[in-house]
Amino acid sequence: MAAGGLLASNALADTVTLVNGDRLKLFQASDLQLSLESLENYLYQSRTGGRLPMGNGLSFGTQVNFDYDAVPAAGKDTTDTDLIFKLSYAL
């Protein structure tokens, strides 16, 4: 989002769904940031993915991040997409 504007933020959704008991956790979170100066200047962010516990504190996850900036900085694209893989350990 271009500099100089104040933002109002609103979380559109934040959900976690358990599949097969508590084994597979699917999640989705969305956020919309609006400029207080212009409705044409906004930033939408979405985070969607899943986590699968593998036992002994180890879990695997994957996530897709999608960002859309209606008024990007000079030389930047309006969209940004990331695919993330995670391997985590909890004590």
More confident residue, 85 or 30: 85
| Confidence tier at 39 by pLDDT (50, 70, 90) | confident
Residues 6+ apart with CB under 8 A from 62: 49, 50, 83, 84, 85, 86
Taking 90 as the threshold, does the pLDDT of residue 85 lie above it? Answer: yes
What are the structural domain ranges in the chain?
Answer: 7-89
pLDDT in tens, 19-36: 777 688 888 899 998 888
